[in-house]
Structures are given as C-alpha cells and as structure tokens.
Amino acid sequence: MADLGIYEVFGQERSGAAFCHVGSLQAGDGDLALVLARELFCRRSEFVALWVVARPCIQVAPVAGEPLGPAEPRTYRLGVGYRDTVEKWQRFGGERGGDR
C-alpha cells in the first residue's frame, strides 16, 4: 500500500490578502487534501480561499540564519537610501522637504 502524501495548507483570510501557511495534513490526493483542509482548518470560517500544495512540490532555500538578500548592502533598493532628498529639496527654497 502506498504512503499517504503530505500536503501543506495555505489560507487567505480575506479577499486580496496574502495566502499564509496554516499547517499540513496527510491525504491520498489533492482533492481529498482539500476536503480535509476544510474540515481541519475552516471550522470557524477562517478563510475565504484555500490552497493545498503537495510537499515535494515545495522547493526550500537553505536557511542562512538571517534575512535572505544580497551579500552587500544595497541601500539604493530601499527608501532609506534616498533620505538626503530632504536636504536636496531645501536648495530650492522653503524650510521642509519636497512634499509641501
């Protein structure tokens, strides 16, 4: 007899929200996994939409122990990399930043 597969369950709490991982379960196939996911995780109308994903389909990045990102700091990807726009605006008159 075959082993049952493991399915990871993702739920969406309201329309437009990100799907979040809520747990996992054992099932013979994806259809049954969805039925069981509703029984296990949706008894109190927690989600408006549900995904089940067979665990072997999930590719996992190695854990680095710190946030994943580029090796070197790349502040030009972030808002903080452009803080001096406030000063730069002052060259054009006025006391505060550009968003007057």
**What is the contact surface with another protein in residues (CB under 8 A)?**
1-6, 22-29, 32, 39-41, 43-44, 60, 63, 65
Torsion 62-65-66-70 (CA) sign:
negative
Which CB, 24 or 89, lies closer to another protein? Answer: 24
Q: Which residue has the tokens 């969805």?
A: 34
| Rounded Cα–Cα distance for residues 80 and 54 (Å) | 39
Q: Least Å distance between CB 30 and another protein?
A: 11
Q: Least Å distance between CB 10 and another protein?
A: 13
Torsion 6-10-11-15 (CA) sign:
negative
Which CB, 55 or 74, lies closer to another protein? Answer: 55
Q: Least Å distance between CB 71 and another protein?
A: 21
Which CB, 55 or 88, lies closer to another protein? Answer: 55
Q: Which residue has the tokens 């099932």?
A: 27
